[in-house]
């Protein structure tokens, strides 16, 4: 099937699922401290999604072709872990950075968002990487408009990351989302402006650049899920779900405590 354009009724359901994903990230913020395990963060998020929000954690038992079922309800990627980190009894320590990736299902529709958290006082490099990766995501979002192209998004992200001495992971990308967790189109975080899929009102997809402090090369851990930087450098990622509107874009995963769009992004 091709890219599915959402109806107004479907967009309303996407708004709800997206807001719920953002609210999980708001909720968990207070618990991300030195000494907490990622398994405990997973439990807290799972219980909040199921018992408070009445939604389903999409990652739990998710098994795309070639992968074992994912065993947890969220992804927790620490330091050199790029994405899909599996929660465990590993305790966070002062100076860590961690990405928490949340996907909710509400009334059949998915909302997908992730944020970086700094655990205590972090290094200057870690702070800068988190900030630049956040700017990269928003620079990509700002290029979304009907008649534009996905290459516009990738080019903006790649240019900003590389200008700051960082690299963009190539093997993983954003994705269409709706009734399916991962759908068309694929949203590359690098590319050339004016190329790729033309953007049309009603498209919904994620923008989720993975930015490495060192080289872009990655490898997979033995758990079959966790992706790490090959050179053990730090990695950071932010993610929002975005709707192409008639005049531009709407971010569907904003919530009360979402970090605001950077003033530098126009």
| Structure confidence by residue, pLDDT tens digits, 155-166 | 999 999 999 999
User: Is residue 15 within 8 Å of residue 252, measured between CB atoms?
Assistant: yes
User: Cα separation of 38 and 92, whole Å?
Assistant: 7
Q: Tokens for 106?
A: 């509400």
- Confidence band (pLDDT; 50, 70, 90) for 77? very high
Question: Of 114, 197, 182, which Cα lies nearest the Cα of 151?
Answer: 197
Interatomic CA distance for residues 238 and 140, integer angstroms: 11
Over 80: is that where the pLDDT of 125 sits?
Answer: yes
Give residue 1's pLDDT: 59
> Is the pTM of the predicted complex or chain greater than 0.85?
yes
Residue written as token pair 């996907």 = 103
Q: How far apart are CA 46 and CA 52, in angstroms?
A: 10
**What span, in angstroms and rounded, lies between the C-alpha atoms of 103 and 160?**
27
- What domains, with CATH codes, occur in the chain? 8-251 (3.90.230.10)
- pLDDT, tens only, 103-120: 999 999 999 999 999 999
* 79: region left, alpha or beta (phi > 0 left; psi from -120 to 50 alpha): left
How far is Cα of residue 48 from the mean position of the Cα atoms in its chain? 19
pLDDT band at 2 (very low <50, low <70, confident <90, very high): confident
What is the distance between the alpha carbons of residues 50 and 89, in angstroms, rounded to a whole number? 22
Q: What is the C-alpha separation between 203 and 194, in angstroms, rounded?
A: 18
Angle at 194 between CA 200 and CA 237, to 5 degrees: 80
How far apart are alpha carbons 134 and 240 in whole angstroms?
Answer: 10
d(CA 258, CA 241): 13
Half-sphere exposure of 259 (CA within 13 A, CB side): 19
**Contact residues for 106 (Cβ-Cβ < 8 A; gap 6+):** 13, 16, 17, 20, 53, 54, 55, 56
Tens digit of pLDDT for each residue in 27-69? 999 999 999 999 999 999 999 999 999 999 999 999 999 999 9
pLDDT on residue 266? 83
Question: Which contiguous run of DSSP H or E holds residue 210?
Answer: strand 210-212
Total residue count of the chain as it appears in this document: 266
Q: Is the pLDDT of residue 215 over 90?
A: yes
pLDDT for residue 41? 98
């Amino acid at each position: 099937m091709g890219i599915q354009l959402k109806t107004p009724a479907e967009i309303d359901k996407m708004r709800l699922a997206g807001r719920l994903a953002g609210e999980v990230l708001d909720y968990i913020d207070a618990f991300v401290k030195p000494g907490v395990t990622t398994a405990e963060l997973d439990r807290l998020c799972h219980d909040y999604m199921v018992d408070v929000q009445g939604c389903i954690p999409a990652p739990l038992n998710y098994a795309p072709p070639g992968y074992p079922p994912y065993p947890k309800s969220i992804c927790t990627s620490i330091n050199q872990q790029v994405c899909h980190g599996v929660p465990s009894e590993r305790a966070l320590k002062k100076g860590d950075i961690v990405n928490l990736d949340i996907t909710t299902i509400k009334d059949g529709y998915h909302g997908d968002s992730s944020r970086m958290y700094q655990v205590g006082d972090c290094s200057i490099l870690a702070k800068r990487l988190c900030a630049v990766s956040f700017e990269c995501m928003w620079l990509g979002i700002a290029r979304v408009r009907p008649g534009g192209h996905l290459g516009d998004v990738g080019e903006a992200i790649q240019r900003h990351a590389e200008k700051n001495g960082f690299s963009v992971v190539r093997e993983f990308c954003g994705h269409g989302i709706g009734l399916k967790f991962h759908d068309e189109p694929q949203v590359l975080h690098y590319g050339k402006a004016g190329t790729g899929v033309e953007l049309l009102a009603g498209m919904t997809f994620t923008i989720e650049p993975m930015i490495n402090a060192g080289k872009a090369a990655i490898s997979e851990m033995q758990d079959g899920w966790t992706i790490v930087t090959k050179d053990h450098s730090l990695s950071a990622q932010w993610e929002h779900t975005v709707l192409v509107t008639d005049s531009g874009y709407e971010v569907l995963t904003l919530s009360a405590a979402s970090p605001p769009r950077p003033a530098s992004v126009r």
